[in-house]
Structure 1
Amino acid sequence: MQSQTRKGMLIIAIANGLLLFGYGLSLPFFTIYLISQRGLSASMAGLIIALAGVSRCVSSAISGELADVFGRKTVMMWGLFSQIIAMLGLGLCIELKVQVGYMLLCYFLTTFLGAFFRPASNAWVTDNTTPRERVEAFGLIRIGLNIGWALGPAVGGFLVRYSYSMAFYFTGILYAVTILYLGRLVVDNHAPCKSRKPSFVSTLLSLKDTRLAKICFYVVLITAVNSQLVVGLSIHCNRYLHMPEYYIGWFFTINGLVTVFLQYWASKWAAKVRLSTGMLVGCLLYAVGFGSVGFFDSFLLIGFGVFLAGLGELIVSPGEQTLVSNIASRETRGRYLGMLMVFYNLGSAVGFFGAGMLGDYVAPRYLAGPWLIVGVLAVLAGIGFFRMRYSLTNEEDGKMTAPVPIKKDTVTLH
């Protein structure tokens, strides 16, 4: 990756890190807040988080389409500004202990607006990289994201012991810092598509590309698995193992630290194999990591399961973004990446709701049951991604063919 390209990726990586640090301070603990402070059942809390995920699906599609039409930076900045207002409003609702309905309205606004950034920023990354550079570029973004994820929940776990509202206020402040940072450093070289108006029907019709549709379906499966880290693990450890909140925060931190220290090497390895092969390996690591959690009751052993799942995430997350980027044209990158985030958030919603249902109805009968189901889903996703190789070109699947050497004409002297 060229130095100028790497500099641009570092700017976006740092921005993502700041945003996820802010996210980790507060939102992962909202499930615990609803259950422990507002008396909601695990299944009801899971349903609320799932509905918020559905709202992110809608906003992801909107973001990707708007990013193609109006530019990447414009969508990133306005999305963040709107989210700050909603986040501060949510913190105020929690502090004043308003009716649950008003608080949830602010929460849904926060999650809806929070989905505007990633499709636009991913399209910016794709604009400024070649297919050969994208696995490494998205891997670098993952490092930034997970530095934030490593720090945010660890700090948030201590903050919420004293004040849930304070955690949300700090999140709003970090988002404001990110706006100032991006506004100063990011340059958008994308030429907006003035020849077309935003068309969300056309966004949905992009699924007529069967390769995109298949990738999105497998993303739903593996994202439902990944979302167990936030809701499923919180319910399992807090309700059934009676672990304190800061233990759960440290599990999030372990997941983040895996990426901080190992993403570079994972990206180097992934660049040497087909994307479809790497995705299979990543999904199998998810299956072993999360599938084993239900059999453990100690911090260290559950932490090891989270570590293995984190290794899977190192490969899967950059891989799915690279796959979609590689099959999209320059004019549809925002739209395709927006659709990817639609199904990413749909998978999160399915996972959040499923975690609540499994925690209420399966875990009391067989504690390991929810995690075995999660492991099976990860295996199915891995098989699906692996079979994608039959519909991808070598370049789209990350296998770069070596150039054919040019034979020089030879002259025979007599």
Structure 2
Amino acid sequence: MNTIIQLYIKSYRGLSPAAWLLALVMLINRTGSMVIPFLGIYMSSELNFSKTQVGLVLGCFGLGSVCGSWLGGWLTDRFGNFKVQTWSLILTIPLFLITPQFRTFESLALMIFILTLVADIFRPANSVSVAKYAKPENITKAYSLNRMAVNLGFSIGPALGGFLATFSYDWIFYGNAMAAGVAALVFIYFFKDKKGNTKIDQPIRAEISPDKPAKNAYTDSLFILFNILCCLFSMAFFQLLSTLPLFYKDAYAMNESQIGLILGFSGFVIVLFEMVLVHLVEHRFTVKQIMFWGTAIAGFSYWMLNLDFGIMWLYLAMFFLSVGEMLTLPFTATIAIQRASLQNQGAYMGFNSLAFAAANIVSPFLGTFTAEHFGYNTLWTITGFILICTSFGFIWVITKMKSE
């Protein structure tokens, strides 16, 4: 027991107070993450949209995310991460409050696009702020801590959202608005006029990108290829937020509360294990080895869904998906920030965020279309295959980054 406690202490050691405060802001904001997991169910059950319409609206979610990620990176390099994060949080509040009034396919699609655009301006600015306030030698830990806060909020949000949905789906949107408001107040209080570091962790940079003059993120060929792989990973992985809840409802007749619990379980696993897992692997294995195994394990978790061994099997598959996420996503952010110079971190983080966001344009539609016309088993087989191929792609591109 003492050994386990010491391991947890080592995992969190060295993180700056500012990193903890950023994680607190993210925790508050993501505790309100009730809309995304239930958006597909809300449209199919409450609004009686077809699966194709559900996929198209979720595609608008992805399009808004792409535009917001690009715009957020551009704004961050020009106005700084503090202003961008502050205004993104503030402006999402009224948008969440009025969204339930839009109940037709066309109006909801437009509203989801606008809401996601404004909300995702936050993402590249937040990624830059993590790098700004983290100690250089602990940058991957700082990203993991931030993700831990995201997932702790995500473990609470869907469970709370599932409970609120039993009364009214409108309350899911109102809950998101309240969380964004509290997060904005906390962020402004702690980070107004706060200074960060300007150093870069050279050992990590040397592994993924030799020292060179600053590049343009959008003409950096290896970074473009890396982001294409991140997009493929996202297209497969984020079935978690689109078709997977529908699968639970259609194949296992799970209600909103049960779906919220299993999605919340993913966040719980990540909160409990990610910092320790990153601590154990980051100095024992190379970045490309970690990315390979994380992506491959995520692919295996989707193949597990083709077998029906009951509810506990679904929880086991979710556990493996969470392990794959823990091994992959913290290091994608590390690679992106270390590939950048101090002058264009916003552009690099925005481009990387855009890669994940772009998948959400086509991923929900392709997922729902495949499930509706070919069945869920076909969807999970294809999803797993994409992730396995992507795992080999990560090995190739990271090797090229190191030796270019």
Corresponding letter in the other structure for 1:16 = M
Q: Does 1:120 align with 2:125?
A: yes
Aligned to 1:240: 251
**Cα RMSD (Å):** 2.2
Q: Deviations over 1:273-297 (max 9, x none)?
A: 2111100010011011122113226
**1:46, 1:356 within 8 Å by CA — same for their partners in 2?**
yes
Aligned to 1:348: 360
Distance, in Å, in 1 between the alignment partners of 2:14 and 2:87 is 26
Cα deviation for residue 5 of structure 1 reads 4.9
Give the 3 Å change call, closer, same or farther, for CA 371–108 of structure 1 in structure 2. Answer: same
Distance, in Å, in 1 between the alignment partners of 2:104 and 2:59 is 20
Cα deviation for residue 369 of structure 1 reads 1.3
Distance, in Å, in 2 between the alignment partners of 1:306 and 1:3 is 29
Q: Deviations over 1:319-370 (max 9, x none)?
A: 100011111111011110000011110123332122111111110xxx4211
Distance, in Å, in 2 between the alignment partners of 1:70 and 1:42 is 41
Query: TM-score, normalization: structure 1?
Result: 0.86
Q: Deviations over 1:103-126 (max 9, x none)?
A: 333322211111011110101111
Cα deviation for residue 244 of structure 1 reads 1.4
Corresponding letter in the other structure for 2:277 = A
1:46 equivalent among 23, 46, 55: 55
Corresponding letter in the other structure for 2:294 = G
| Runs of 5+ unmatched residues, structure 2 | 1-10, 198-214
Q: Determine helix, strand or coil for the equivalent of 2:137.
A: coil
Listed as ranges, the matches of 1:9-408 within 5 Å are 9-23=19-33, 25-91=34-100, 93=101, 98-129=103-134, 131-186=136-191, 187-189=193-195, 206-272=217-283, 273-296=285-308, 298-363=310-375, 367-393=376-402
**1:42, 1:235 within 8 Å by CA — same for their partners in 2?**
no
Give the number of aligned pairs: 376
Corresponding letter in the other structure for 1:235 = L
**2:15, 2:141 within 8 Å by CA — same for their partners in 1?**
no
Distance, in Å, in 2 between the alignment partners of 1:131 and 1:284 is 29
**1:83, 1:109 within 8 Å by CA — same for their partners in 2?**
no
Corresponding letter in the other structure for 2:87 = W
**1:131, 1:326 within 8 Å by CA — same for their partners in 2?**
no
**1:218, 1:381 within 8 Å by CA — same for their partners in 2?**
yes
Distance, in Å, in 1 between the alignment partners of 2:260 and 2:12 is 37
**1:76, 1:117 within 8 Å by CA — same for their partners in 2?**
yes
**2:281, 2:290 within 8 Å by CA — same for their partners in 1?**
yes
Give the 3 Å change call, closer, same or farther, for CA 126–338 of structure 1 in structure 2. Answer: same
Distance, in Å, in 2 between the alignment partners of 1:122 and 1:154 is 26
Corresponding letter in the other structure for 2:161 = G
Distance, in Å, in 2 between the alignment partners of 1:100 and 1:2 is 46
